[in-house]
A and B are shown apart, each in its own frame.
Chain A
């Protein structure tokens, strides 16, 4: 299965307003006295798959946590869909952006359907009943991620790949316009990685979802992302389409190690390797 990718510079496939998905301005974040992000400024457009790459400790997870409003920056401002990110109510924000943390927690006896159903919480709140719309959204989410077979099975008994798909279904049931995923494939084998990332890409294309995904595998990232943003030591060191990033000098600047590239036999971005 090849994953085609446009070589041209990234531009929005959204034909709605010119409002950026995210506008990050001079954001800094420090924890325990140590600065993790420094003077970061970034603009992300809606409707694209953005990949966040970079070495360990570069601040990728922290950045997506800031974007998902899991924590607040020490300095600077973040605007989401044209408004300051603090301005959104909790459930309102959860209806617009869905977040998958790096290590999904234990689910303690929940079945697949129960977990996916939790994704409807931002819509019906603590007291509302599950209506027709909610049930349809749950079914659709499970169909799209091919997890209907796990509806009545306990999530804790599924394999790693199956469990990730159920979590993705929960995010989809949230019916947001934006997905933020923090290394959703680190614990998966090659086949499941490809499957999950292909799914993410298809979802973005079919449903015009904006996706921000943190990946540590540069080749996987180049294959599915429209735009790559590279962090190193808390700063952005590269930003562009896969063709622009997959060059030896750029990769070396990002990862600090000498890298080369190989052209693929089929159409697709080049593959990077460590020299």
Chain B
């Protein structure tokens, strides 16, 4: 009895200390904000300085509080409804989806943006969330899988956004600048909007708090006590999406505030669901306000303008790194066995190789407008020197990504695992971004080297994380997710500066193969010739590793070492591929699936087949990008993201495995 009292007292003390800490942070931020505001108004014309204060700085400060509260509440709602401590509008793709919708509207239906901006953003965010949820339903809503799906959906959506921006030119660039999450305001409209949303959401959450708390149990138990799990979950998800997309519609993407706020709420002593639903918005408000105050102060002191949203995105990586190993592992039902198995595997592989060769020929000989074929003489004279580097590097990259994807999906027994998720591609982007900030006109040699450096740094970070935490191959993926978030935040930071380097970066992000030189093409081909057979050598390990740790040790393999080596190989292959063709978001995911569906189900067969399928996909995509919109060249990334998006939708519509 006394023990209970003691620990209860200790908990109260802990909560008290935490609350005091947050209040202190708020007070400090208030002081910083006031000082920065004062310094910002110094030197302005007398009448204007008041206007600036009342219509610019004060709304900004209030927006930081309200927006932070909205995002904190959204994060807490999602985490409670989905039983996933890593759920957040950023990790589940809501942000990227909203941004894509706004981009499409800007390009195709600008009138919508005048009146119904929030609705457009909501539509995009809701669609992305729905996609992520349906994808993870097949794996029983396992938290890690959900985050992986969120990452894939985000990558596809931002790749599409990047190509839209490139297609739209300068006009669209302003979309990206705005999209970075700067909290500058002119007037109180946004504050009013967010305030209204919070005013509606808060009573709704209050009414739902009990069924929401019961959702912590399994679905069966919750239904057993009479909670309508589906309806409550839907309501919570819709509310969270409204709150998050409301903020995004006003200021762009402000990342990871919900993730940090909700988890910090738990750490500060809010143990029950209701307590978290109250504490998370408060902590979110303080977090965003503190960040914005710091950004404002930095602006005054050093003159650099960084969007606040990009700074909070930097939070994401470390928080995820801390959180992901602690995620509960939900048992997943087994994958359905493939329906078909090819008997004559060699024949099947030969057929695939023939198809790839045929596609290469078609691609080479296709007339630029895609409607006729060239003669050999024409081809040799004019287009061959332009076409073969793209084809060769594209095919090589496709093969590398196909092999890497197969390794990752087998080693982790997770069909959503894909090379892009490892964060290697994003690391390459960060390396490139860093170089371009220093020298926006850098040539292809330095950019190649910078991207390579970025990839290797990302790889080293992932391996270091996995080694330090002594986790198995599946958890390597978690390190990759964290690295992807961190690197992605860095890239967003650079992009939102809006300088000339931004265009080149977007160019690379959209997967344009236009600028592949013969040297790069040959290098890619050599890398593919070396790395893909290396992967094939590991097929026995793949077969045994999927049977789990106990069986692997029983047969004489160290799962850590074998899995680690294989994943490292996949990472190197991914780095090699992204150097030439950018962070494409579908080949590494699709090629292994397609190989399996066609009937190549044994590891060795699947590896070989998905390398061929990957090459084939890249050739087809590149040819389509080149010919579909003649005389314009579509970026390969756009076509790739469209195909990838369509594939995701197809995945979703296939029936989940029974039982």
Are A and B co-members of a single complex?
Answer: yes
Q: Are A121 and B334 in contact (CB under 8 A)?
A: no
B337 touches A94 (CB 8 A): no
Bound complex: CA of A27 vs CA of B427, how far in Å?
47
Q: Would you list which residues of chain A between 18 and 67 have a CB under 8 Å from chain B?
A: none
B303 to chain A, nearest CB (A): 53
Could you give, for residues 103-122 of chain A, a 1 whenever the CB lies within 8 Å of some chain B CB and a 0 otherwise? Answer: 01111111000100011011
B538-A118 in contact (CB<8A):
no
Among A90, A92, A99, A105, contact of B547 (Cβ-Cβ < 8 Å) = A105
Which segment of B380-388, B470-478, B553-561 sits at the interface?
Answer: B553-561
* Contact residues in B for A94 (Cβ distance below 8 Å): 554-556
* A69 interface residue (CB < 8 Å to B): yes
Contact of A91 with B by CB under 8 A: yes
A109 contacts B550, CB within 8 Å?
no
The contact of A126 among B337, B541, B558, by CB within 8 Å, is B541
Residues of A contacting B558 in the complex (Cβ-Cβ under 8 angstroms): 90
**B337→A154 contact, CB < 8 A:** yes
Query: If A105-B551, A107-B547 touch, does A90 touch B556 (CB 8 Å cutoff)?
Result: yes
**A100: B residues at CB distance < 8 A:** 554
List A contacts of B602 (CB < 8 A).
114
Verify B537–A101 contact, CB threshold 8 A: no
Give 1 or 0 for each of B521-539: 1 = CB within 8 Å of chain A CB: 0000000000000000110
Interface residues in A, total, Cβ within 8 A: 32
Is A74's CB within 8 Å of the partner chain B?
A: no
Tell whether A209 is near chain B: CB-to-CB under 8 Å: no
Bound-state Cα–Cα, A99 to B550, Å: 8
| Smallest CB separation, A146 vs chain B (Å) | 22
Which of A104, A118, A122 contacts B543, CB < 8 Å?
Answer: A118
Which of A99, A104, A118 contacts B544 (CB under 8 A)? A118
A89 to B, closest residue via Cβ: B556
A93 at the interface (CB under 8 A from B): yes
Which of B547, B555, B602 has the most CB atoms of chain A within a 10 A radius of its CB?
A: B555
Contact B555 A156, beta carbon cutoff 8 Å: no
Bound CA–CA A50/B546 (angstroms):
30
- Report yes or no: B540 in contact with A109, Cβ–Cβ below 8 A: no
Secondary structure call for the B interface: loop
Q: Residue-by-residue, is B509-522 near A (CB-CB < 8 Å gives 1, otherwise 0)? A: 00000000000000
CB-contact partner of B557 in A70, A90, A92, A154, under 8 A: A90
Write the nearest CB–CB distance from A135 to chain B, whole angstroms.
16
A164 at the interface (CB under 8 A from B): no
Known: A121-B555, A174-B555. A108 touches B550 (CB 8 A): no
Q: Tell me, in angstroms, the Cα distance from A107 to B538 when the chains sit together.
A: 18
Chain B residues near A118 (CB-CB < 8 A): 543-544, 547, 555
Q: A90-B558, A91-B556, A154-B337 are in contact. Are A101 and B551 (CB under 8 A)?
A: yes
Taken together as a complex, chains A and B put the C-alpha atoms of A176 and B395 apart, in Å, by 46
A109 with B557, Cβ < 8 A, contacts A70-B550, A126-B538 known: no
Q: Tell me the smallest distance from the CB of A198 to a CB of chain B, in Å.
A: 23
Q: Is the CB of A17 closer than 8 A to any CB of chain B?
A: no
Name the A residues within 8 Å of B553 (CB-CB).
Answer: 68-70, 90, 99
Question: Which residues of the other chain, B, contact A190 by a CB distance below 8 angstroms?
Answer: none
A258 to chain B, nearest CB (A): 35
> Which residues of chain B are near A89, meaning CB under 8 Å?
556
Given A99-B550, A105-B548 in contact, is the A119-B537 Cβ separation under 8 Å? no
Closest chain A CB from B245 CB (angstroms): 39
- Chain A CB within 8 A of B441 CB: no
Are A126 and B540 neighbours in the complex by a CB distance under 8 Å? yes
Asked if A127 is at the interface (CB within 8 A of a chain B CB), the reply is yes
- From A106, A121, A157, A174, give the contact of B540 (CB < 8 A): A121
Q: Most chain-A CB neighbours within 10 Å: which of B413, B548, B556?
A: B556
Q: Is B412 an interface residue (CB 8 A)?
A: no
Min CB gap A100→B, angstroms: 8
Query: Is A108 a contact of B337 with CB atoms below 8 Å?
Result: yes
Would you call A213 an interface residue if the criterion is a C-beta within 8 Å of the partner chain's C-beta atoms? no
Q: Is B357 an interface residue (CB 8 A)?
A: no
Query: Which of B338, B537, B538, B551 contacts A109 (CB under 8 A)?
Result: B338
- Interface hits, B550-593 → A, CB 8 Å: 550-551, 553-558
CA distance A104 to B334 in the complex (A): 13
The chain B residue sitting closest to A124, CB to CB, is: B540
In the complex, whether B91 has a CB less than 8 A from a CB of chain A is no
Name 14 interchain pairs, CB-CB below 8 A, sorted by A. A68-B554, A69-B553, A99-B553, A105-B547, A105-B550, A108-B413, A108-B546, A109-B601, A118-B547, A121-B556, A122-B556, A126-B540, A156-B337, A157-B337
8 nearest interchain CB pairs?
Answer: A94-B556, A91-B556, A101-B550, A106-B334, A99-B554, A109-B337, A105-B548, A122-B556
With A105-B547, A105-B548, A109-B338 already in contact, 9 other A-B pairs whose C-beta atoms are closer than 8 Å: A69-B553, A91-B556, A95-B556, A101-B548, A108-B337, A108-B413, A110-B543, A121-B544, A127-B540
